Amino acid sequence: MKITLKQLIAEPLVEILDWPTDVWRQNLVFEPGERYQLDAPSGRGKTTLIHILCGLRDDFSGECRLDGRRVDELELSQWCDLRRQRLAVMYQDLRLFTDLTVAENLALKTVLNDAYEPVPGVDEMLSPLGMVDFQQRKVGTLSWGERQRIALVRTLSQPFEYLLLDEPFSHLDKANTAAACELIEKACAHRQAGCVMTTLGNDYPLTMDHRLSL
Amino acid sequence: MTAGLNNAKQRRRLLKKAFSNSPGRWRVWLAMAGFVLGLILLLGALNLALGINRAIQAGERHAEYLIVNKRVTVTGMLTYVRPGFTEAEIQELRDQDFVRDVGEFVTSRFRVSALADPRVSDMEDAPAGGDPGGFGMSMPLYSELFFESLPDRFLDVDPDKWHWDPELDYIPIVISREFINLYNFSFALAQGLPQIPESVIGGVGGRITVSGSGGEKRFRARVVGLSDRVPSILVPREFMTWANREIAQEEQRRPSRLMIKTDRPADPEMLEYFKNRDLQVNSERLRAGRIGRMAMMGLSAVGALGGLLVALALFLFVLLFRVVLAESAERIRLLLLLGYTPAMLTAFALRRFWFSLIAIALLAAAVLGTVFPLVYQRLREVGFDPGPVFFPLTVGAGIVILALAGVINLASVRRTIRRKAEYLS
């Protein structure tokens, strides 16, 4: 999948955009299979960009295309198909069902794609993240860091051509971050998928083809 | 393939869990209960109404004869004004749907006296081998009488004997079986007279004298039949016409009694007609019509109530289903973000709705199926046959209502999920 941005600017940023950026109001292409790290401090529209890319908001001017199709012209059901099969998203606010167990949250994703076996497998992901024993726990009882790991596993357990990660390690310690990075590396490599990851500017043990500032 | 099926099953199980804590579910149950109750009332009333209607119509297959007369009033008694039917009134009656035929009673305007005398019988008109003395008529019996006549087609006697020949001095007579019964079981017992068996009633002969301003004439007479239908003493119409003209020398008077042939004796419409015109009718069957009509009115009320309840419950049901969906908006949004399509969610919601609907149908059917046979058995015990426990029409109506509920909700759910989704895209 190829993501093309042309003079894209989110509405909330129109008035306040006064910093040098590689993304907003620029022409930019996220090439298939390439990995991009977007660094920015708070308030520069990291989450806003991710939401535009996954169809959660359309309050922008300029153009954003997925494989040449304008995102603001996609139907809801087309978005749903994309999110299920081609575009994996890990939201900054995680978006888990807090009243369901870890296993149920993960299953809600895996049952969506009949006979799809993710690589790495779900258990292979839970184990290095130290979450194997948490499967029957309700998500609501977990710490934010634990939830973040579950959200990552859920995101990586589906097919995708592009992976969108919104500050994915914000609540993880070094060891868990390393384990998570390794999983992301494996998942993307196996799927030959591209990745867009927003961060606050930290360095992570993850191979990135491009680092841009937002 | 099985993996896919299992997945679909598991998906439904997970969705069910994801929505299981959504608020407002008890309200849906409440609406469902209302729906069931309304359905039971509506279908129950419909079924009973069908049964009563059928019972009324079953009674209508046999033609029945009714005698109608105007009410005798005190004023009429004092002024000698005798109520009679005008041509127009008779014609109007003839035009009613429930009337197949109308016959006018013509009454004698001349005096009639009868002498039942065994000697007369013996001499002139004894039945073969009959012995009038055998039933004890050794004493002559004299009485003043009256005659009435009806068109022949209204009579329940053998028409062969029912003929008057002006050349002969003989009149056939038909009397009401009630008169014989009255005589046998009241008069004869009280007076110490012999009872007369019906088998020999044809042997009873007598002399009839008719007299009026046109003179006097004697006839031999013979009872040729007993009528269950007409409570009167009947002579052939030809004789009556002749006698009223020649003996009484009076012009025709308006008939005061009519006989009506109807094939809908229990028709509430007929009852209404007679009531409005202040006519008296001699039929028990009319009471069945009255009861039927009252029952129908009661059932209509119950049916209307049931219909209202169904409509209200359906409205509430659809509304609450939407409320539940609306309150689950956040979950729906989340699922859409995971990649669940609106179609999947709609299918899931509708599947749950269909299950509710089937549950409602089964519940209503169970209640009706348990209660109705009992009610109907009770009705049969008191002598009313309400027909089959379930009419196909009742079942059909139930299916139609449920289908309607389904269709309305289908549209509603689709729209609601779409609207929640619009938020997102």
Residue B4, classified by CB atoms within 10 Å of its CB into exposed (0-12), middle (13-18) or buried (19+), is: exposed
Query: What confidence category does residue A102 fall into, taking pLDDT thresholds of 50, 70 and 90?
Result: very high
- Number of Cβ within 10 Å of residue B375's Cβ equals 15
- Least CB-CB distance to A95: which of B21, B334, B421? B334
Query: What confidence category does residue B59 fall into, taking pLDDT thresholds of 50, 70 and 90?
Result: low
Residue B232 CA to chain centroid, in angstroms?
28
Helices first, then strands: H and E counts in chain A: 7, 9
When the pLDDT of each residue in chain A is averaged and rounded to a whole number, the result is: 94
Q: What is the pLDDT of residue B273?
A: 85
Residue B134 CA to chain centroid, in angstroms?
48
Region class of A89: left (phi > 0), else alpha (psi between -120 and 50), else beta: beta
Neighbour order of strands in the sheet with B257-262 = B99-104, B257-262, B64-70, B279-281
Q: What is the pLDDT of residue B207?
A: 86
Angle CA(B82)–CA(B263)–CA(B57) in degrees, nearest 5? 130
* A chain contacts of residue B343, beta-carbon cutoff 8 Å: 77
Q: What is the pLDDT of residue B124?
A: 45
Query: What confidence category does residue A20 fall into, taking pLDDT thresholds of 50, 70 and 90?
Result: very high
Min Cα distance A172 → chain B (Å) is 23
Query: What confidence category does residue A167 fall into, taking pLDDT thresholds of 50, 70 and 90?
Result: very high
Min Cα distance A28 → chain B (Å) is 23
Looking at this predicted complex, what is its ipTM? 0.91
When the pLDDT of each residue in chain B is averaged and rounded to a whole number, the result is: 78
* A chain contacts of residue B331, beta-carbon cutoff 8 Å: 97
Min Cα distance A25 → chain B (Å) is 22
Distance CA A199, CA B246 (A): 129
The residue among B10 and A171 whose pLDDT is bigger is A171
User: Which range in A34-48, B322-336, B359-373 is most confidently predicted, on average pLDDT?
Assistant: A34-48
The residue among B356 and B140 whose pLDDT is bigger is B356
Min Cα distance B3 → chain A (Å) is 6
- Least CB-CB distance to B18: which of A54, A84, A108? A108
Residue B291 pLDDT > 80: no
Q: Which residues pair with B249 in a beta bridge?
A: none
User: Which range in A19-33, B120-134, B141-155, B334-348 is most confidently predicted, on average pLDDT?
Assistant: A19-33
For A99-136, letters b (16+ CB in 10 Å) and e give: ebbbbbbbbbbbbbbeeeebebebeebbebbebeebbe
Residue B186 pLDDT > 50: yes
Of the candidates B172, B175, B177, B176, the residue with the CA atom closest to the CA atom of residue B238: B172
Q: Is the CB of residue A205 less than 8 Å from the CB of residue A174?
A: no
Distance CA A111, CA B6 (A): 9
Tell me the whole-structure pTM to 2 decimals: 0.60
Q: What is the pLDDT of residue B131?
A: 42
Does B18 contact A107 at a Cβ distance shorter than 8 Å?
Answer: no
Q: What is the pLDDT of residue B109?
A: 86
Question: Helix crossing, B268-276 with B285-327: angle to 10°?
Answer: 120
- Least CB-CB distance to A83: which of B18, B337, B421? B337
- Number of Cβ within 10 Å of residue B100's Cβ equals 15
pLDDT, mean of residues A140-155: 96
Of the candidates A52, A41, A39, the residue with the CA atom closest to the CA atom of residue A11: A52
Does B334 contact A107 at a Cβ distance shorter than 8 Å?
Answer: no
Min Cα distance A89 → chain B (Å) is 9
Give pLDDT tens digits for B350-380.
887 788 888 888 888 888 888 888 888 887 7
Residue B286 pLDDT > 50: yes
Distance CA A109, CA B199 (A): 98
The residue among A36 and A112 whose pLDDT is bigger is A36
Could you tell me the two tokens for B191? 């007076």
Only one residue has tokens 């609106």, namely: B342
Query: What confidence category does residue A212 fall into, taking pLDDT thresholds of 50, 70 and 90?
Result: very high
How far apart, in Å, do the first and last CA atoms of chain B sit? 33
Distance CA B213, CA B216 (A): 8
- Least CB-CB distance to B421: which of A76, A83, A85? A76
Q: What SS3 state is found at B138?
A: coil
Distance CA B104, CA B68 (A): 10
Residue B51, classified by CB atoms within 10 Å of its CB into exposed (0-12), middle (13-18) or buried (19+), is: buried
Distance CA B1, CA B20 (A): 28
Mutate to test the interface with B, among A108, A155, A157 (most CBs of B within 10 A): A108
- In chain B, the percentage of residues whose pLDDT exceeds 70 is 82
Give pLDDT tens digits for B98-108.
888 888 888 88
Region class of A133: left (phi > 0), else alpha (psi between -120 and 50), else beta: alpha
Distance CA B228, CA B195 (A): 19
Residue B416 pLDDT > 90: no
User: Which range in A1-10, B7-16, B35-44, B416-425 is most confidently predicted, on average pLDDT?
Assistant: A1-10
- Least CB-CB distance to B11: which of A76, A95, A111? A111
Length of chain B: 425
User: Which range in B87-101, B251-265, B305-319 is most confidently predicted, on average pLDDT?
Assistant: B87-101
Only one residue has tokens 């013996």, namely: B122
Mutate to test the interface with B, among A93, A111, A136, A164 (most CBs of B within 10 A): A111
The residue among B224 and B283 whose pLDDT is bigger is B224
The residue among A169 and B5 whose pLDDT is bigger is A169
Q: What is the pLDDT of residue B23?
A: 58
Q: What is the pLDDT of residue B121?
A: 47
Least confident residue range of A40-49, B16-25, B41-50: B16-25
pLDDT, mean of residues B315-335: 77
Residue B168 pLDDT > 80: yes
- Least CB-CB distance to B17: which of A79, A80, A104? A104
Min Cα distance B357 → chain A (Å) is 27
Amino acid at site B302: V
The residue among A105 and B175 whose pLDDT is bigger is A105
Min Cα distance A108 → chain B (Å) is 6
- Least CB-CB distance to A100: which of B18, B340, B341? B18
Q: Is the CB of residue B289 less than 8 Å from the CB of residue B271?
A: yes
Distance CA B249, CA B201 (A): 32
Residue B296 pLDDT > 70: yes
* B chain contacts of residue A75, beta-carbon cutoff 8 Å: 425
- Residues of chain A contacting B, Cβ within 8 Å: 54-56, 58, 74-77, 79-81, 83-85, 89, 91, 95, 97, 99-100, 104, 107-109, 111-112, 114-115, 158
Q: Which residues contact A149 (CB under 8 A, 6 or more apart)?
A: A129, A130, A131, A172, A176, A180
- Residues of chain B contacting A, Cβ within 8 Å: 3-4, 7, 10-11, 14-15, 17-18, 21, 331, 334-343, 421-422, 424-425
* A chain contacts of residue B14, beta-carbon cutoff 8 Å: 100, 104, 107-108, 111
Distance CA B283, CA B292 (A): 15
Does A158 contact B335 at a Cβ distance shorter than 8 Å?
Answer: no
Q: What is the pLDDT of residue A37?
A: 97
Least confident residue range of A154-158, B176-180, B316-320: B316-320
- Number of Cβ within 10 Å of residue A81's Cβ equals 15
Distance CA A209, CA A197 (A): 11
pLDDT, mean of residues B296-301: 78
User: CA torsion sign, A197 to A200 to A205 to A210?
Assistant: positive
